[in-house]
Amino acid sequence: MNKKFLSVVLFGALMAGSSVTFTGCIDNDEPAGIEELRTAKAALIKANEAYRLAEAEWMKVQVEFEQVKVEQQKVQLEIDKLNLEIQKASSDYEIALWEAKKDSVVKDFEGKLFELQKTAAENETAYLKALAELEAARVYVTDSVYSKKLVAITGELKKVSGKIQETLATITGLSNNLLKFSSDSIAVAKEFIAADIKSGQSKLANDSVTLAEFKKLAADYSSDAVDAQIVDINKQIIAIDKKVAELKQTITTNDATKAPIEQAISKQKVTFEKDNQSVALNVPTAIESEFISSFIKEDNTLLVALAGEQWVTDQKQNIQEKTVNVDNVVYSFKTAPVIENLQLGSVNEDNTINEKNVLSAKIENFATEVKTHGIELYKGAYKKLAMVTIYNLPSLSTGEDITEEDKAKVAVALEKVNADFTTAETTYKADTVAFNAAYAAYKTAATAYGITQQLTSTIEQNVKTKWNAYVNARKAYENSLPSNILTLQAAIETAEDELKTKKDAYDKLPADDKKDYTNSTVQEYLAAQDKVTEAKAAYDKAMDKVDDTKLQAAQKALTDELTAYYPKRKALVGDEFKITIIGFNEDKEFVIADKLASLDAEQFAKLIEEGQEAVIGSEWSSVSVNQNSTDEDGAAQTWIKASYKLYTGLAKLPSTVNGGLKAAKTAILPLDEVYAEISSAVVSSSDASASVYVILQNAKNAFSTIDDWTSYAESLSKTAAEKAALEAPIIAEIAKQKEALDAINEPLRDTIYEICKLDAEQFEKDPVKNVAAALGIETMNKDGEKQVLAVLKTTLQNIGGELGIKYTYYTYEEGVLKSNNVTIENTSGISDAVTKIENSIKALNEYIADKKDDLASFDNESVTIANKTKAQYEAELANAQEALKGYQAAFDALNKAKDELIAAITK
Residue range 502-519, pLDDT digits in tens = 999 999 999 888 888 889
What share of the chain has pLDDT > 70, as a percent?
A: 84
Query: Cα 877–881–884 angle (5° rounding)?
Result: 140
Q: Residue 9: what pLDDT? A: 29
Name the band, by pLDDT with cuts 50, 70 and 90, for residue 28. Answer: very low
Residue range 616-660, pLDDT digits in tens = 999 888 888 887 778 888 988 898 888 888 777 676 778 888 777
Contacts (Cβ under 8 Å, ≥6 apart) of 800: 826, 827, 828
Average confidence (pLDDT) over 247-253: 82
Query: Cα 792–797–801 angle (5° rounding)?
Result: 95
Residue range 172-184, pLDDT digits in tens = 778 777 766 654 5
Average confidence (pLDDT) over 256-276: 88
Mean pLDDT of the chain, nearest integer:
80
CB atoms within 10 A of CB 895: 17
Query: What pTM, to 2 d.p., does this model score?
Result: 0.44
Residue range 562-620, pLDDT digits in tens = 999 999 999 999 999 999 998 888 889 999 999 999 999 889 999 999 999 999 999 88
Nearest to 72 by CA among 114, 122, 109, 34: 109
CB atoms within 10 A of CB 280: 12
Average confidence (pLDDT) over 846-859: 79
Residue range 116-141, pLDDT digits in tens = 777 777 777 777 777 777 766 665 55
Per the CB < 8 A criterion, the answer to whether 506 and 655 are in contact is no
Nearest to 602 by CA among 456, 501, 478, 779: 478
CB atoms within 10 A of CB 819: 10
Residue range 312-344, pLDDT digits in tens = 999 999 999 887 544 567 899 999 999 999 999
CB atoms within 10 A of CB 533: 12
How far the first Cα of the chain sits from its last, in Å, is 6
Q: Give yes or no for residue 29 having a pLDDT over 50.
A: no
Q: Report how far residue 574's alpha carbon sits from residue 548's, in angstroms, rounded to the nearest whole number.
A: 36
Per the CB < 8 A criterion, the answer to whether 410 and 382 are in contact is yes
Q: What share of the chain is helix, strand, coil (3-state, %, to 5)?
A: 70, 5, 20
Which range scores top for mean pLDDT: 167-181, 388-402, 485-499, 765-779? 485-499
Residue range 404-448, pLDDT digits in tens = 998 898 888 888 888 888 888 888 888 888 888 888 898 898 888
- Indicate the helix (H) or strand (E) that contains 158: helix 144-179
Q: Residue 429: what pLDDT? A: 83
The strand pairing partners of 823, in sequence order, are: 806
